[in-house]
Amino acid sequence: MNFSKLKSMFSRRSKGLKEKIKLKGRIDIVVRDSQGRIKDERHIHNIVCNTGLGKVSGLINGVVTTAFTYVAIGIGTTAAAATDTALGSEITTGGGVRAAATTSQTTTTVTNDTAKYVITYNFTATFAVTESGIFDASSAGNILAHQVFSAINVVSGDSLVLTWTIED
């Protein structure tokens, strides 16, 4: 094999080694009234937080074993940022308590490249929900992703379904 062909192969491989996984996410939100009618529906991109990225690298090599399976909602209004470690003001009553989501993998580009979280909140109180996040614990814990959005007003009897997807 000549030198220029070898150099070309190495160059292609080097570029591949420089690729980085860049996680991105999306939240699909559907709010239904007590009769099951859709009151609000939104599709929002979210921010993957720095602490989440750190935990993801630990999950890859087994240093960390606690998966991100909990979803929380809140009423905070400070813009989401990569440096976030918690929600601005998490809801802890009235049917809006952090809980474990139903998790699965789906295919966006290659088999199982997307993590999916689905959770339903059934409200017994009134809130103006403005944020959501994915965590690795039922309280406190590390945040993977966060987003703040314009208020979604819910009342007792309403349900809110969040479907998060995280992909590279």
What is the rounded average pLDDT of the residues 52-64? 91
pTM check: above 0.75: yes
| Residues 55, 57, 61, 63, CA torsion sign | negative
Lowest mean pLDDT among 17-21, 47-51, 66-70: 17-21
Contact by Cβ (8 Å): 162, 117: yes
Structure token digits, residue 145: 């992703």
pLDDT in tens, 121-153: 999 999 999 999 999 999 999 999 999 999 999
Radius of gyration for the chain, computed over Cα atoms and rounded to the nearest angstrom: 19
Question: Which residues share a beta bridge with 105?
Answer: 115
